[in-house]
Structure 1
């Protein structure tokens, strides 16, 4: 609900503070008094595109502040959250226009863009008038209006869910087809690569082990001859072990005849033979370890070079070849299983489309029934508005499938019997259009509306009983939403719960516009003026009191 509007130095308003109420708020005044300026100022702070020159002559800048009440769950709260702006039970919009044309806006004391203001305005205010309508004249919004009128939230939610499931199934199938096509394009490569990797079957760490074994065998060839000669020099017979054994036997035989002088030599030689035996054994073990099949070196080199060549071919490290083989084998398995998987995805896609078609058909039937109820409701509303010869029809035609179903909805009218029906804004004249829009708004109103509804001279061109019917319907709307009406009709003004008079005055050679809230006595005079003109007679006051009577 719009709670207050504060205007500073805008057009012919120098300073104006307005406090609005729930229910039907009426603004009246003579032509040119500035009623439309209030709407211009409100549109400015809401980010609407309007007049270029808004700053009052002589002022450095103009400023408008609007305060709205935001109940819990209001759609504006979501916009504030998405924009990173503070939210609460009160929404304060402030916008400044410099004399040079620069515009700056704040939302709850935070800088904001005009785009954010316009997004908020769609959740706060709805303007209706002969030349400016923010929804009812636009066929793109008619389907949503019909759905709201028919209470089709459940059918619409089911259709949207079915559309999402269909879209996901289509996407999954398309992605699978794309993947399968890519795999088929490289099928020859995959089969050859997997066969080659499986044939070689490299293991992690194998390349390093082969390289070490190869180096060892290459080194063994170089040192083995020296080791053999060393073993021969150390061994029995002509080797050191044989000669030392002979020397020991000779010394042991001679030791008895020299009175112990050779005992130490015999002991040392015995120890030396033990050490020599251990050395000979170690040389033998090394010689045995370095003994290998000459073909083993060739085989190791051949496998080592094959592993390295395959790694270079695929641009990976040798130790990554097993992982590569696993990945390529998985892609080949996916290719082999692709046809079966594709068939399953096609079945899922077909089932999702059938489900969507069924949900869309149910929604379409519900819309057709809602359209008949809306047409009947409109017929009942048009007669009191002196449009009993006019007809209203909700036209439903096939449309491209989408989350909202397969229906296009357009509101059409015919103003005379036998005349072809057409779009609201193309067929109806100014006065007729105003009444069509009012009747439609009354029919579409369901429950408590979160919007402030503004009607700008929607009663133009009607009077008497028709104007009274317009006022009654505006009053009915105000029972579920805050309604602001700019009117020249005394019958409409009399139905207001709150009344303001807009008038011009000249101060210091400058024309200014003021807005005055009216008490009960002032309302009588204002409605009397609207009935009789500048000269207010007692007869006019009596007529005004009659209009104001409950």
Structure 2
């Protein structure tokens, strides 16, 4: 459940620290006092999109944080572990900061997270039903999503949609093959010739690098031999070999070192130089013996290089990329060969259709009993909401070829009176009837949800009197299993709450700010009286308020 909500500099809220109780709580107050603002702030903490206008005038940023008890949910614990978010005291602290430009940052238990992550974790913690939620029930997609979500069919719905896409792609491939047969044949012939030509070239990137190195050696063989021979001549084969001179100098300096030992180190350097020069001569001779001019081999290499270079120029790539070109052309050719085979294409399309049909049939079978059960529950709830004899039905209307959503469309149908046949909800429900039906659906589906906190924002609009009292009792019963909060203008609903807050606007230092008061029994009588009587609150009104509250069972 929600334990605490902290808000600072949000719209007309300067600073609020709210602590919540379990059960059913009512948030009341004059229109525009800021009741829904509290829920908007909570929505931002749970990942709703932010706008720059949410920051209180004259302030740099708005800050919101909400502390929740950690629900008992293995999938939530796994998610937190995957995000490396630690939980120390069985609670989760969600925090959001929004600046004047609308940019925001978010944290969960001190760990910086994205809005997507914030929305994901919020889905386990609380469910907010907006004041216009019942209007969404007029949309076919909202009706289908509500049924599938209530039935827990999200994974099956995704699988059906994916299978539908695969089937459509296969069908389109068949159609393209028929329509573009001539163009495909021409492209296939070109690719076959290109692949054959590239295969014949037998290009290999590593062999190409070795070939370039060998070409460099053979192309400069004469210069290499001349340079190496000149070096050998200077070092050991000339009239005054350098090695001999170094050896003689080393001997002479050794003699002098016997007189002056400080020359010993220099003598060792000369001896070392003579030894290294001798080793260099041996290496140069071996290289000279190995390198020889080979005009025929050079010609072969140059012909190979020319062939590779011409092929690369033809395909407008570097020689090193020819292997990638071959792989690309071969893959495209394989695809065309597959696409050009009408039998194979048709078999693939039929297999995709069968896979879709199986998944769609399973989805239909899963939807049917849930649609029936939910229809019966909403119909039963309508009898208590001043719609005696009314009927609610979730019709699963078959579609001939199916769709990405399955083999049927989902349509909410209703008959407000026993003498009327059921018709689409969007065509027959009045505003008041729609509000009552929508509220019944929200309460019933919420009972089945695992979310521990449920929040209703003026969902009781369009009802009153006895029906309002019944709605209040429904919410109170729901509050036995869940933490329930409701923003309401109806005294009959508020009187059923286990606890009640009053939200008001006040002037402080020339600014309008929103304040929240936790109401005790006496204050609740005054607030219920205000909701009953408006501006002029009489003793009679207070007595009426006391009677309404007296009808509330002891929590």
Pairwise TM-score range, normalised by the shorter structure: 0.5 to 0.7
Residue 95 of structure 1 corresponds to which residue in structure 2?
97
Cα-to-partner distance string for 1:214-254 (whole Å, 9 max, x where unaligned)? x9xxxxxxxxxxxxxxxxxxxxxxxxxxxxxxxxxxxxxxx
Structure 1 residues 499-538: aligned runs within 5 Å: 499-505=500-506, 512-520=513-521, 522-524=523-525, 526-527=527-528, 530-531=531-532, 534-537=537-540
Residue 498 of structure 1 corresponds to which residue in structure 2?
499
Give 1:36 shift. 3.0
Q: Give the paired residue count.
A: 452
Residue 371 of structure 2 corresponds to which residue in structure 1?
371
Cα-to-partner distance string for 1:298-323 (whole Å, 9 max, x where unaligned)? x999999987776566559xxx9xx9
TM-score by length of 1: 0.62
Structure 1 residues 157-172: aligned runs within 5 Å: 159=160
Larger radius of gyration: 1
Residue 444 of structure 1 corresponds to which residue in structure 2?
445
> Which whole-Å CA distance do the structure 1 matches of 2:94 and 2:198 have between them?
68
CA contact (8 A) 1:448 1:481 kept: no
Structure 1 residues 147-296: aligned runs within 5 Å: 147-152=148-153, 156=157, 159=160, 183-188=188-193
Residue 228 of structure 1 corresponds to which residue in structure 2?
none
Structure 1 residues 442-481: aligned runs within 5 Å: 442-445=443-446, 447-450=448-451, 452-481=453-482
CA contact (8 A) 1:127 1:133 kept: no
Cα-to-partner distance string for 1:458-513 (whole Å, 9 max, x where unaligned)? 22343332112211222343344432101232332233233223345556666544
Residue 236 of structure 1 corresponds to which residue in structure 2?
none
Whether 1:26 and 2:26 are equivalent positions in the alignment is yes
Residue 7 of structure 2 corresponds to which residue in structure 1?
7
Give 1:93 shift. 1.8
> Which whole-Å CA distance do the structure 1 matches of 2:45 and 2:199 have between them?
69
CA contact (8 A) 2:188 2:337 kept: no
> Which whole-Å CA distance do the structure 1 matches of 2:298 and 2:13 have between them?
97
Query: Relative to structure 1, is the Cα distance of residues 153 and 175 closer, same or farther in structure 2, using a 3 angstrom cutoff?
Result: same
> Which whole-Å CA distance do the structure 1 matches of 2:392 and 2:335 have between them?
61
> Which whole-Å CA distance do the structure 1 matches of 2:193 and 2:14 have between them?
83
> Which whole-Å CA distance do the structure 1 matches of 2:336 and 2:508 have between them?
88
**Tell me, what secondary structure is at the counterpart of 2:497?**
coil
CA contact (8 A) 1:162 1:355 kept: yes
CA contact (8 A) 1:79 1:119 kept: no
CA contact (8 A) 1:3 1:21 kept: yes
> Which whole-Å CA distance do the structure 2 matches of 1:60 and 1:307 have between them?
71
> Which whole-Å CA distance do the structure 2 matches of 1:309 and 1:96 have between them?
64
Query: Relative to structure 1, is the Cα distance of residues 525 and 357 closer, same or farther in structure 2, using a 3 angstrom cutoff?
Result: same
> Which whole-Å CA distance do the structure 2 matches of 1:54 and 1:144 have between them?
30
User: What stretches of structure 2 of length at least 5 have no aligned partner?
Assistant: 203-209, 222-293, 314-318
> Which whole-Å CA distance do the structure 2 matches of 1:39 and 1:5 have between them?
10
Residue 290 of structure 1 corresponds to which residue in structure 2?
none
Give 1:548 shift. 1.4
User: What stretches of structure 1 of length at least 5 have no aligned partner?
Assistant: 198-204, 216-296
Cα-to-partner distance string for 1:8-45 (whole Å, 9 max, x where unaligned)? 34444443211123432211234454323323433454
TM-score by length of 2: 0.61
CA contact (8 A) 2:3 2:69 kept: yes
> Which whole-Å CA distance do the structure 1 matches of 2:186 and 2:161 have between them?
31
Query: Relative to structure 1, is the Cα distance of residues 345 and 435 closer, same or farther in structure 2, using a 3 angstrom cutoff?
Result: same
Give 1:152 shift. 4.3
Residue 487 of structure 1 corresponds to which residue in structure 2?
488
> Which whole-Å CA distance do the structure 2 matches of 1:309 and 1:507 have between them?
87
Return 61-70 or 501-510, whichever deviates more: 501-510
